Structure 1
Amino acid sequence: MKKLFFLIICTLFIVPTIANAHTALTSSNPADGQVVTKELTELVLTYAGEIESLSTMKLLKDEQEVPLNVELQEKQMIGTLSTPLENGSYVIVWSIAGEDGHLITGEIPFTVQLEQMVEQEHLNETKESITTDKEDSKAENQEKSGQTNDQNNKQSSESIKVIISVLVVIVLGIGTFLLFGRKK
């Protein structure tokens, strides 16, 4: 009786574990959390056991589905892309039906950060920075030019005031001379 009880307990706890072990995800390319630095046109999910035709794989970027051709090959699900992935954050959402009929799902987040694209983005940022610097410099020059014009205008205004003052003094001097010169 004890042996029968032991067999029943073992069966209840071990069989579901074995069934799930046969269909568990064993590896993926790209791996969970991986930063991919080379062009990626194929996603490969490998499972411990053979997967059934009801299995699916989706690729999402910013919650939008990226077109993907999915093919099942015994223990692998392979997703082929028509063009390499661009820089950004992605999530592979998969669902498999194992030999035992259990439905298992999972997600694999990863990031694409291509070296070439990073260098290009750096160049674009540098160009934007140079353009901004040129615009800032131009604005500064215009401001300085405006200040120079203001200074020139002030100097001209002051020069005109001095000339007018000198002319007024001369006119008053001539007027005084003529006024007193006639009295004699």
Structure 2
Amino acid sequence: MKKGLSIIILLLFLFPSMASAHTKLVSSYPSNGQIITEPIKQITLEFEEALEQLGTIKLYKAGTATAVTNVQVKENKLIADLPNDLENGDYKIEWKVVSEDGHPVTGQIPFKVQLKQVETKTTTESKTTDKAVKDQTPAKEKQKEATPKKERSKYLIPLIAIGLFGIALMVGGVVLWNRK
């Protein structure tokens, strides 16, 4: 009985760490909310752990899919080539990877392409557009700060519940232990 109870308690302490073992995105290019001002040829996502070869990257501009090619996993990186230069506008990367422990992990990265245009007669229009974009930048930064908090909070409640369940089991085990 003592041996079985010890094993159960040990498993309870191990389970919360296994529940949070999913790999996490460490960095990306382009990064969340970044404004790209030079042409890019590749999307690179870097994760905490090595990945299985099942990663996907999809790129959207205003809800319409944009071509990406040569999607590949190299250790802990997911890389995709862009066949054409991206036009100015708002983009969203949707990615899905499978960590070595077999758990699928997904996410989205919004960013903006704002390539410098060749000066033309409509300089006044571009200055107006630039000012409008600068006025919107703080909102993007606020969104960037809010996203990681959402990501953390979705795991917090299950971990607290598992911890409370473990404490309840330990208290019950101690009570049973003392009755003998």
Band of TM-score, shorter chain: 0.5 to 0.7
For 1:14, the aligned partner's letter is S
Deviations 1:109-129 (A, max 9, x none): 000111x22x54x743548xx
Give 1:71 deviation, angstroms: 1.8
**In 2 relative to 1, CA 41–123 (structure 1 residues): closer, same or farther, beyond 3 Å?**
farther
The aligned amino acid for 2:89 is: G
Residue segments in structure 1 that go unaligned for 5+ positions in a row: 128-184
In terms of fraction of residues, the more helix-rich structure is 1
Structure 1: distance between partners of 2:27 and 2:39: 20
**Which structure is larger by alpha-carbon Rg, 1 or 2?**
1
Q: TM-score with structure 1 length normalisation?
A: 0.60
Letter of the structure 2 residue corresponding to residue 124 of structure 1: T
- After TM superposition, give the deviation of residue 43 of structure 1 in Å: 0.7
Deviations 1:54-89 (A, max 9, x none): 210001001111110112211111111112211100
Look up the match of 1:172.
none
Which one of 12, 17, 36 corresponds to residue 15 of structure 2? Answer: 12
Q: TM-score, normalised by structure 2?
A: 0.61
Paired residues, number: 122
Gaps in structure 2 of 5+ consecutive residues: 126-180
RMSD (Å), alpha carbons: 2.1
Q: Secondary structure at the match of 1:96?
A: strand
Question: In structure 2, what residue type is equivalent to 1:67?
Answer: A
User: Residue 16 of structure 2 aligns to which amino acid in structure 1?
Assistant: F
Is the 2:51–2:75 Cα contact (8 Å) retained in structure 1? yes
Deviations 1:25-80 (A, max 9, x none): 11101110111111111110001111112210001001111110112211111111
User: 2:85 is paired with a residue of what secondary structure?
Assistant: coil
| Equivalent position of 1:75 in the other structure | 76
Partner Cα distance (1:3, 1:29) in 2: 47
Q: Secondary structure at the match of 2:92?
A: strand
Letter of the aligned partner of 2:9 in structure 1?
Answer: F
Q: Does 1:93 align with 2:94?
A: yes
Deviation of 1:5 after TM superposition, in Å, equals: 4.2
Q: What is the distance in 1 between the residues matched to 2:47 and 2:121?
A: 42
Q: 2: distance between equivalents of 1:47 and 1:100?
A: 14
Give, in whole Å, the separation in 1 of the partners of 2:75 and 2:17: 24
SS across alignment from 2:83: coil
Partner Cα distance (1:10, 1:107) in 2: 32
- For the pair 1:124 / 2:122, whether they are aligned, the reply is yes
Tell me how far apart the structure 2 counterparts of residues 88 and 9 of structure 1 sit (CA, whole Å).
Answer: 49
Distance in 2 between the 1:6 and 1:31 partners? 42
Identity fraction in percent: 34
Shift, 1:3, TM fit: 4.5
